[in-house]
Amino acid sequence: MLDLKQLLSNKEEVLGRLKTRGLSVDLSKIESLDIQRRKLQQEFDQLRSEQNQANDEISRCKKEKKPADAVMARMKGLAGRLKEIGPKQAEMEQQLKNELLLIPNLPHASVPVGTFAENNKVVRTWGEKPKLSFSAKEHWDLGEKLGVLDFDRAGKMAGTRFTVLKGGAARLERSLINFMLDLHTQKHGYQEIFPPLLVNANAMLGTGQLPKFEADLFKTTDGRYLIPTAEVPLTNLFQEEILKEEDLPILLTAYTPCFRAEAGAAGKDTKGLLRQHQFNKVELVKFAHPDHSYEALETLTQNAETVLQQLGLHYRVVALCTGDIGFSSAKTYDMEVWLPGQNAYREISSCSNCEDFQARRANIRFKDKAGKNRFVHTLNGSGLAVGRTLIAIFEQYQLSDGSIQIPEVLRPYFGSDRLT
């Protein structure tokens, strides 16, 4: 959520930065609500002042044994008006908050300006595309022929966009999860968390999934939501708390299943594991000091890249343009891994700095050295999406006989050098 004071005092700048996202935002309703709210607050403060003066006057009357009927009557009127103003103030504050919750974060000055994915900028590339002496197959063909990916049986029990992983694929998925968690906790300094997979609406609001993206979520009959990413429970771990400055940065990682309705993806990536309703992911979240959050973003991105490098997977890092960054993000790097079977790069991780956007919504602050409470900056990234990493291994490490070579770093987890 944007700072209301910043929004209204730097209106032209804010509108200009939102325009780079491809958005035209009308602030007139917010301005009107803010004016009404300020008037009510002024009246409330004035009535409180008059109420205090009347109290003093009543005390004097009692001390001097003079009648105070007129003052008491005025006090009753003041109290009645204050009682009316209270609910109106609360309603006005909520309306104002509801409007602010629909406005996305402002892009950082370093984000490439553009409306479409074509305006994204390749920052760096690691490794080389594997040179195969045969025609590359897609992961779903490889998995079905090996008997380790079963789309038909998953469809019978759950419908489309679900997959049963069997045998070597299930073991490879588990191996990847353990490898990623060990790397991030033992080498990168993250604390492992295993959070709830169901959260309340307030948690979803805190990270920006609600109210705008409810159609993308799975909601239970009691009003809770299945998490679309571990970013939600990890970021909300400190909601409504004041952290110590000396504890920053705080680094958290979690493996969780993730659940997405994929409401806007009809007919898109329907084959294979790329876009599933349920998938596994290892998430990275940081709570950083505002002065150091962009250094933290670079480190977070490097942590995710290390997974790909140790697996020997060719990929590139892309800085997303203003029109392609997520709702809560101020700056995002995507890691795109090469898939020979599809002859294309596909996203395997997004690493974002949300600055204080989520912290304002979830009210996560820290006390600085001067004793002032300030909002932290929150960052998140996939480290990595496990199913997409499995896809990349299938396609980059496929052999001519249809088997899959296992990256060397995974062999102690997997127990073999080949999936057959």
CA 174 from centre of chain:
24
Q: Judge whether 12 and 25 are in contact, CB under 8 Å.
A: no
pLDDT recorded at residue 266: 67
Residues 129, 252: one domain?
yes
pLDDT band at 79 (very low <50, low <70, confident <90, very high): confident
Residue 351 lies in a domain: yes
Same domain assignment for residues 129 and 234: yes
Cα distance between residue 76 and residue 143, in whole Å: 78
Please tell me the pTM assigned to this model.
0.93
Range of the domain at 274: 117-419
Do 290 and 408 belong to one domain? yes
Task: Say whether 347 sits in a helix, a strand or coil.
Answer: strand
Last residue of a domain, one of 38, 70, 100: 100
Give per-residue pLDDT as tens, 110-125.
999 999 999 999 999 9
- Confirm whether 109 is domain-assigned: no
Does the structure show a pLDDT above 70 at 395?
Answer: yes
Count of all residues that appear for the chain in the document: 420
Q: Tell which residue, 295, 198, 191, 216, has the closest CA to residue 256.
A: 198
Q: pLDDT digits over 22-61, tens only?
A: 999 999 999 999 999 999 989 888 888 888 887 778 787 7
Over residues 96-152, the pLDDT tens digits come to: 999 999 999 999 999 999 999 999 999 999 999 999 999 999 999 999 999 999 999
Question: Does a structural domain hold residue 8?
Answer: no
Mean pLDDT value across residues 398-410: 98
At residue 172, the pLDDT reads 98
Confidence of residue 262 (pLDDT cuts 50, 70, 90): confident
- Number of structural domains the chain divides into: 2
Asked if pLDDT for residue 319 goes beyond 70, the answer is yes
- Please list, in sequence order, all residues whose beta carbon lies within 8 angstroms of the beta carbon of residue 64, skipping any fewer than 6 positions away: none
Mean pLDDT, the chain, rounded, equals 95
Could you tell me which of 213, 193, 303 has the C-alpha nearest to residue 261?
A: 213
Q: Give percent above pLDDT 70 in the chain.
A: 99
User: Do 125 and 82 have their domain in common?
Assistant: no
Tell me which of 100, 131, 149 is where a domain ends.
100
- Tell me: cis bond preceding 23? Omega within 30 of 0 counts: no
The whole-angstrom separation of Cα 109 and Cα 322 is 10
335-372 tens-digit pLDDT: 999 999 999 999 999 999 999 999 999 999 999 999 99
Asked if the model's pLDDT at residue 316 lies above 90, the reply is yes
CA angle 385, 214, 165 (to 5 degrees): 30
Average pLDDT estimate for 270-276:
91
Pair 136, 66 in one domain: no
Same domain (yes/no): 93, 131: no
Residue 19 domain flag: no
Q: Residue 290, exposed/middle/buried by CB under 10 A (0-12, 13-18, 19+)?
A: middle
Alpha carbons 158 and 294: distance in angstroms, whole number: 42
| SS3 state of residue 297 | helix
pLDDT tens-digit series, residues 184-220: 999 999 999 999 999 999 999 999 999 999 999 999 9
Distance CA 7, CA 17 (A): 11
264 confidence band (pLDDT: 50, 70, 90): low
Confidence of residue 69 (pLDDT cuts 50, 70, 90): confident
**C-alpha separations of 328 from 72, 105, 320, 378 in Å:** 52, 5, 13, 10
In this structure, is residue 218 part of a structural domain? Answer: yes
Checking if the pLDDT of 328 tops 70, the result is: yes
Instruction: Look at residue 21 and tell me if it is in a domain.
Output: no
Identify the CATH number of the domain in which residue 34 sits.
1.10.287.40
User: Is the domain of 74 the same as that of 209?
Assistant: no
The pLDDT value recorded for residue 265 is 66
The answer as to whether 403 is a domain residue is yes
Percent helix, strand, coil in the chain, to 5, is: 45, 20, 35
Which residue among 67, 100, 133 closes a domain?
Answer: 100
Tell me the catalytic residues. Answer: 260, 275, 347, 350, 388
